[in-house]
Amino acid sequence: MKKILTIYLLLLVFVPTSNAAHNNKLPVKIIKNTLAISFAQDGTLWRLLPANDFIYIDYSKDLGGTYSSPVKVNQQAQKISAWPENPPAILVTKAGRVLVLYYADEQQKSTSYFSYSDDQGKTFSAPVLISDQAATNMHYMDKMLLDRAGNIHFFWHDNRNKAENSKLAGSISLYHAQTKTIGVGGFENEIIPHSVCSCCRTAISLSAHGNPVLLLRMAFADGARDHVMLSKKNATEWGPAKRISDDHWVIDACPEHGPALAIDKQGRSHLTWFSLGEKRQGIFYAQTDNYGETVLKPMPLGNSEFLASHPDVIAAQQRVVLVWTEFNGSETSLYSQQSKNRGKTWQVVKKVFSSASSTGYPKLLAHEGHIFVSWLTKQEGHHLIEVK
């Protein structure tokens, strides 16, 4: 693999954490610094905590200051599976239904389950399988999306098409299912006809028209693993893949470094990704106003000599916020950078927090015009920090 090149050094400003009074200690011992977090419309902050045998859920009414007592989602013990590139997911509908997606090593090494609660997280439905071939084929890196019509979408990596995928090293099939009538029948599985990198999660969002949009690392015939955007044109049809990066990263290994995607209300897509390609190395931000037809020149982020990695992006009104991590050999630091004009110009980079212990991936979320970053460190616990 090529040596990582220095892209440039950004001016760094340290910002003290704003959650010093919060209870950062987790109530259960979770797996691999991995959790899921989401706001409900009423401002309740919900967390999903994967432990060895159970998935737990709790919530906060004061932006992470205090949390409720954790509740088990699965009542029967399972061998729970989770890691930062393959986290569980939690969403809350407008009506307050809590939706949970998680993984357990059951029929296959990774098996996806769905459950929900209609009583504010007090009790949960019996978990059900998402894949219709769960007994024979591994599926993982699921993503869950709630559209404006109330449909729940699932996207996942599935190895049921082994013969076809064997033509492209390191590739796997991408599947989709959606439902609105929870508890009535199973999930109808459909293949999305593109081969994706088997070890990088897919990023998802909704277009300005309310249709699902995907950003994923695709496996190309020449061995490259570059990123493409896919948009659903209507209820049954996906548009063609639009290549948004030409880094030409040829690698016979698992990057485990998926992209991030945010789409603002005007339809501008904000993209981040990682690459060690022939043309470009490091982490990058770019934007497109036509879902990948044309893409502005990528902007490098962070200091690649300190392994800048795992960027996330969020868009709220005119604001766009980026976060990522860097490792200097002794500690991992979390950095943020933001734009207040939809990515036209950018403010100075800020150092948010540092830890000498192992960490998870940073995750951005927004509520009522406020933007927060969620970050988990083994030593200091879970942090929810507002980006101002």
- Which pLDDT band holds residue 26 (cuts at 50, 70, 90)? very high
Q: What is the mean pLDDT of residues 222-234?
A: 90
The residue type found at 275 is S
Query: What pLDDT does 283 receive?
Result: 98
Query: What pLDDT does 13 receive?
Result: 34
| Least trusted range by pLDDT, from 35-49, 225-239, 288-302 | 225-239
Residue 67 to residue 72: CA distance in whole angstroms? 15
Q: What is the mean pLDDT of residues 85-110?
A: 91
Q: Any idea where the domains of the chain sit in the sequence?
A: 35-82+86-148+158-168+188-193
Query: What pLDDT does 16 receive?
Result: 37
Q: Which residues contact 356 (CB under 8 A, 6 or more apart)?
A: 330, 331, 332, 379
Q: What is the pLDDT of residues 68-91, one digit of tens each?
A: 999 999 999 999 999 999 999 999
Residue 263 to residue 202: CA distance in whole angstroms? 15
Whole-structure pTM value: 0.92
User: Per-residue pLDDT for 10 more than 70?
Assistant: no
Q: What is the mean pLDDT of residues 103-119?
A: 88
Query: What pLDDT does 345 receive?
Result: 98
Q: What is the mean pLDDT of residues 121-139?
A: 92
- Which pLDDT band holds residue 185 (cuts at 50, 70, 90)? low
Q: What is the pLDDT of residues 242-273, one digit of tens each?
A: 999 999 999 877 788 999 999 999 999 999 99
CA 255 to mean position of chain CA atoms: 15
Q: What is the mean pLDDT of residues 166-172?
A: 76
3-state secondary structure the chain: CCCCCCCCCCCEEECCCCCCCCCCCCCCCCCCCCCEEEECCCCCEEEEEECCCCEEEEEECCCCCCCCCCEECCCCCCCEECECCECCEEEECCCCCEEEEEEECCCCCCEEEEEEECCCCCCCCCCEECCCCCCCCCEEEEEEEECCCCCEEEEEEECCCHHHHCCCCCEEEEEEEEECCCCCCCCCCEEEEEEEECCCCCEEEECCCCCEEEEEEEECCCCEEEEEEEEECCCCCECCCEECCCCCCECCCCCCCCCEEEECCCCCEEEEEEEECCCCEEEEEEEECCCCCCCCCCEEECCHHHCCEEEEEEEECCEEEEEEEEECCCCEEEEEEEECCCCCCCCCEEEEEEECCCECCCEEEEECCEEEEEEEECCCEEEEEEEC
